[in-house]
Amino acid sequence: MWDHWVVESLSKLEALHLVRSLRPIYLHARQNLVENESQRASKPIEDEFEVFDEMQQWDRSSVEVEISENTFHEWVNDITSSGDEVVYRNDSAESKAAICPQRFKKLLLFSGNDYLGLSSHPTIGKAAAKAAQEHGMGPRGSALICGYTNYHRLLESCLADLKKKEDCLLCPTGFSANMAMMVTLGNVGSLLVSGRKPLKHERVAIFSDALNHASIIDGIRLAERQGSVEVFVYRHCDMTHLNALLSSCTVTKKVVVTDSLFSMDGDFAPMIDLVKLRKKYGFLLVIDDAHGTFVCGKTGGGVAEEFNCERDIDICIGTLSKAAGCHGGFIACSKRWKQLIQSRGRSFIFSTASPVPIASAAHAAVIVARKETWRRRELWNRVQDFRTLTGIPISTHIISLIIGSEDKALEASRHLLRSGFHVTAIRPPTVPPNSCRLRVTLSAVHTKDDLKRLAAALSSIINFQEISINGSNAYARM
């Protein structure tokens, strides 16, 4: 039925002359154009990207960071920072005369989202630099005006292939992708009633997991303001509760939206159970695979590939700012859904498209992430290492050590800082009161020795034997 509703919605937009089209601007290389084009025609474009079969020295720069001694002092003493500290090293005489020299402290990063360590990959950096040299930042404008190029289209095609979907729509960020998707769902309810306010049974019913990302929540709130959606929030990963809500709902157009891997708890959505409910109720299944894309599944296709249910996912939203180590968001879907979203998704329509060098780098990251399979293997090895070292039965690379009070979480974070680790305390409003936590994230370019050091530092403030598990959540007693 959803295919029918999308087609009908598009026909309404066509009658109103409101269907929006993408018209890619083709950007030629400025130098050696003829030679480059002939060479590219003779070999697959993927052959242009250099890949490696093991960790290189430069990989470590994605997990080894430095902060100034001033910043370190303010963090340890819980002093609010303005961010004005000098962070650039410059050994010139003029610089030394202008500013006081800074000392820097090295930290091991366990709080980032660069799960594969790709942000420091030279092939990706070269792709961005080459595009910048040839085109600058590219034609700057929204995708519907002049910001959409052959670089953007190539990236969309690669992501559609990765997600086993018919097409893909690039968005400036993952946040804007979720906003565009939710607002478009609200538009379906409005378009199908020809200008009048939808009656209750004509609305779109959106069922949302209680712990979904803020971008989903904010998108749903905007959709609600259209007066065309009914919202139902089900208890986190509770399929019995979701089934009860679905069975009692009289609205025909149903949508279930969920994170596939929850960013603050580190647990998977019950994908197999969701697929079973989808077959039972015929709802549209939308997942936000921000933390699973490139990490989960044999080819990095994400959580749906991991659970062998890619064909049962109607729409997959993702980001290029986490495991891809770049920037941007996307919606993998059918061609009809893409046309509808690009015509009604306001956060897409009214945002400037990603700069060409960013699109070029992200395309390179998709290729590298697929080919360098050792990165996924090493990441999951680190998950096993953490389980072995601590005895905590975590299931993913996102480890949520729930401390409780804000003061205790901050003190735990400061202890890790003094021990040489960058792990921030997560506090309200990101998480509910009294569930403050240390969010530890693992990377493919962490080593087993890194984890041994981290486990030793954690063991002095947390009793691993007293940690209980709810899903993948670790509840720590200090």
pLDDT along the chain (478 residues), means of 10: 95 94 86 46 67 91 90 84 61 51 86 96 96 94 96 97 98 98 96 88 96 97 94 98 98 98 95 98 98 97 98 98 97 98 97 97 97 98 96 94 90 95 92 90 97 96 71 51
Q: Give the Cα separation of 403 and 184 in Å (integer).
A: 39
Residues linked to residue 439 through DSSP beta bridges, in sequence order: 400
Distances (CA, A) of 322 to 168, 326, 400, 463, 467: 18, 7, 17, 31, 28
Encoding tokens for residue 42? Answer: 């003779």
Whether residues 451 and 349 fall in one domain: no
Instruction: Tell me the CATH number at 145.
Output: 3.40.640.10
Q: Where are the alpha helices (DSSP H) in 315-442?
A: 335-344, 346-349, 356-371, 373-390, 406-418
- Does 475 reside within a domain? yes
Q: Give the Cα separation of 264 and 331 in Å (integer).
A: 22
- Give the helix/strand (H/E) hosting 456: helix 448-459
Alpha-carbon torsion 97, 98, 101, 106, what sign? Answer: negative
Residue 86: what pLDDT?
Answer: 54
Last residue of a domain, one of 371, 393, 413: 371
CA 402 from chain centre, in angstroms, equals 22
Alpha-carbon torsion 261, 219, 241, 246, what sign? Answer: negative
> For the CA atoms of 420, 423, 428, 430, what is the dihedral angle to 10 degrees?
160
- Give the helix/strand (H/E) hosting 449: helix 448-459
Whether residues 112 and 142 fall in one domain: no
Instruction: Tell me the CATH number at 404.
Output: 3.90.1150.10
The residues, ordered by sequence, that sit 6+ positions from 87 with a Cβ below 8 Å of its Cβ are: 67, 68, 71, 102
Whether residues 215 and 340 fall in one domain: yes
Contact between 189 and 340 (Cβ < 8 Å) = no
Pairing of strands 104-109, 421-422: parallel
- Does 398 reside within a domain? yes
Encoding tokens for residue 242? Answer: 């979701």
Which range of residues forms the domain containing residue 468? 44-119+373-478
Whether residues 283 and 378 fall in one domain: no
Last residue of a domain, one of 356, 371, 386: 371
Q: Give the Cα separation of 134 and 131 in Å (integer).
A: 5
Q: Give the Cα separation of 380 and 395 in Å (integer).
A: 9
Whether residues 317 and 458 fall in one domain: no
Q: Where are the alpha helices (DSSP H) in 136-250?
A: 150-162, 174-191, 214-225, 239-248
Pairing of strands 253-259, 204-209: parallel
Last residue of a domain, one of 343, 371, 399: 371
The whole-model pTM stands at 0.91
Distances (CA, A) of 462 to 193, 409, 465: 57, 11, 9
Whether residues 347 and 386 fall in one domain: no
16-21 LR contacts (CB < 8 Å, sep 24+): 18/343, 19/339, 19/343, 20/144, 20/339, 20/342, 20/343, 20/349, 21/144
Strand-by-strand arrangement of the 253-259 sheet: 167-171, 329-333, 315-319, 284-288, 253-259, 204-209, 229-234
Residue 91: what pLDDT?
Answer: 53
Whether residues 401 and 450 fall in one domain: yes
The residues, ordered by sequence, that sit 6+ positions from 23 with a Cβ below 8 Å of its Cβ are: 148
Q: Give the Cα separation of 474 and 478 in Å (integer).
A: 12
User: For residue 396, with 0-12 CB atoms within 10 Å meaning exposed, 13-18 middle and 19 or more buried, which class applies?
Assistant: buried
- Does 5 reside within a domain? no
Whether residues 315 and 171 fall in one domain: yes
What's the total number of domains in the chain? 2
Whether residues 156 and 290 fall in one domain: yes
Whether residues 107 and 190 fall in one domain: no
